[in-house]
Amino acid sequence: MTEDYFAPLRGATYMQLTTFRRNGTPVPTAVHVVLDGKEAFFRTWDTTGKAKRLRHTADVRIAPSTIRGRPTGPAIPARAYLLDGEASDRAARLLARRHPVLHGRLIPWYHRRRGWTTQQYRLEPPAGG
């Protein structure tokens, strides 16, 4: 593993998260990303297509991107892991600190209002990466 695997995401507000359908078809989506040291986190809610795809495979590709998901840098492979408990709370706090209005107030309120469960994920380099 390189010294800072997620260096391509440093300074990025959005990343293109590419998840994979069961048949291997890639599905890119723009999500907010936050880095803390050598760790990277993002969030979604439980009923999204990306959450459903991540339930069957943790393999993803990530790249810094625009708000619309157009890559602005190189894509790298990673693995996404659903967090729970204190780890999930920590990731939520990091996202709220980076995006105070959106992730600190609006997204949690909207997810609660809709009855959705907000899920935080940690990104890790692929095995052997």
Is residue 14 within a helix (H) or strand (E), and if so which, with residue range? Answer: strand 14-20
Res. 15: pLDDT tops 90: yes
> Average pLDDT for residues 38-52, to the nearest whole number?
93
CATH number for the domain running over 7-124? 2.30.110.10
Domain boundaries, the chain: 7-124
Query: In angstroms, rounded to a whole number, what is the distance separating the alpha carbons of residues 29 and 125?
Result: 19
Q: Which carries the bigger pLDDT value, residue 15 or residue 116?
A: 15
The pLDDT assigned to 129 comes to: 59
